[in-house]
Amino acid sequence: MTDAYIYDALRTPRGKGRKDGSLHEVTSVRLSALTLNAIKERNNLEGHAVEDVIWGNVTQVMEQGGCLARSAVLASDLDERIPGLAINRFCASGMEAVNLAANQVKGGAGDAYIAGGVEMMGRVAMGSDGAAIAVDPSLAMETYFVPQGISADIIATEYGFTRDQADALAMESQRRAAKAWEEKRFEKSVITVRDQNGLPILDHDEYMRPGTDMQTLGSLNPAFQMMGEQMPGFDKVAMLKYPHLERINHIHHAGNSSGIVDGAAALLIGNKAFGEKHGLKPRARIKATAKIGTDPTIMLTGPVPVTEKILADNGMQIGDIDLFEVNEAFASVVLRFQQAFDVDPELVNVNGGSIAMGHPLGATGAIIIGTLLDELERQDKQTGLATLCIASGMGAATIIERV
């Protein structure tokens, strides 16, 4: 089995994901094509240079429907002989695209792939695909389905996290993200989105609120309390599943949950021969990948068991990891990860995360792998782990090593 290397990693800035957001007039296909073009240009790829484009996105309807990956290839400057594969593992779709590409390379099914994902949440509303887990009563009732925000509050209740702890993590995410942009830590990875005349549309993450403080966060009402305690009463559903909980402590709100944004990201994955052929130097090796299923009601605890799995499968300990990227879907997800492994918070999400910059569902998994690689290089460290919680109860993880 051959090694799979990361040769390049880039992303677009994250737009606000609203009608007044800078990327609102940019379609999913166009943003994807711009990202693919940037990979092509930066690495001088010509002809049938890669085996496939594997592209993650979650809400696969309307402009994101069909095989968006193939549409993006045809809309880009890539050779039409390169096919496309659209995949969906909810919030880990971008990571799963990268992991699938790496494992294809390791298994000898092609020398190189472009992998990543996109989500235009301001144009294609989250949940508009009518997922069976949420709308089919026979499945939803059997699995004790609750919305993700309720799941995040269940985690806070089960593991004893307070609103102040969640708000402090959110404030720190904003501080770190602002510092990262100030110090131009994303400079080599973030591409400018331009219009058809070449004029810049967006060159920075526009969702950030760098002035956020505890007082501001304290003024926000819990986002999921009403749907939990009143109609449709999801707290009762949760307590049927977890009768030891006397009540659900609703600590999450817009300020300590991930932002709804637009964005895309791509990585160039290949074997050693590919790099030699194209004169490219590998930046990191994809050492290991993993995925796991978890309790579908509490739903968002996946980063813990999938990290345990990927470490055990590869004979590693948590102390072997230098830096971590744990997607900030909700504050309690990261708090639980830090609690479970007793990791230093200074090693987790060094440059902020989705609370500050937003979570474009299908792209985030690829974004955090790229961010992790950049930070390993900046700090001259060796090994990093990226992981995400996933809707309906799953977890995914990737370990990378610099070369």
Catalytic one among 24, 91, 250, 252? 91
- Whether 28 and 63 have beta carbons less than 8 Å apart is answered as yes
How far apart, in whole angstroms, are the C-alpha atoms of residue 367 and residue 253? 24
Determine if the pTM surpasses 0.85: yes
Residue 24 appears among annotated catalytic residues: no
Torsion from C-alpha of 10, 11, 12, 17, nearest 10 degrees:
180
Residues of the chain with pLDDT under 50: none
Catalytic one among 250, 252, 253, 359? 359
Using a CB cutoff of 8 Å and minimum separation of 24, what contacts does 276-281 make?
277/111, 278/43, 278/44, 278/45, 278/49, 279/44, 280/7, 280/8, 280/43, 281/7
How far apart, in whole angstroms, are the C-alpha atoms of residue 302 and residue 252? 19
Sequence-distant (≥ 6) Cβ neighbours of residue 237 within 8 angstroms:
144, 145, 146, 297
Burial, 128: exposed, middle or buried (Cβ in 10 Å; 0-12, 13-18, 19+)?
A: exposed
pLDDT value at residue 120: 98
Q: Which of 305, 297, 355 is nearest to 331 (CA)?
A: 355
pLDDT value at residue 93: 98
Angle at which helices 68-75 and 28-42 cross, to 10°? 60
Residue 244 appears among annotated catalytic residues: no
Which structure tokens are listed for 232? Answer: 């449709």
| Exposure of 94 in the CB half-sphere (CA atoms within 13 A) | 32
Cα 161 versus chain centre, distance: 23
pLDDT value at residue 232: 85
pLDDT, one tens digit per residue, over 167-187 is: 999 999 999 999 999 999 999
Question: 308-324 b/e with 16+ CB inside 10 Å = b?
Answer: bbbbeeeebeeeebbbb
pLDDT value at residue 207: 97
Residue 91 appears among annotated catalytic residues: yes
pLDDT value at residue 274: 98
- Sheet with 112-120: strands ordered across: 84-87, 52-56, 112-120, 262-270, 5-11, 284-293, 394-402, 383-390, 323-326
pLDDT value at residue 223: 97
pLDDT value at residue 72: 98
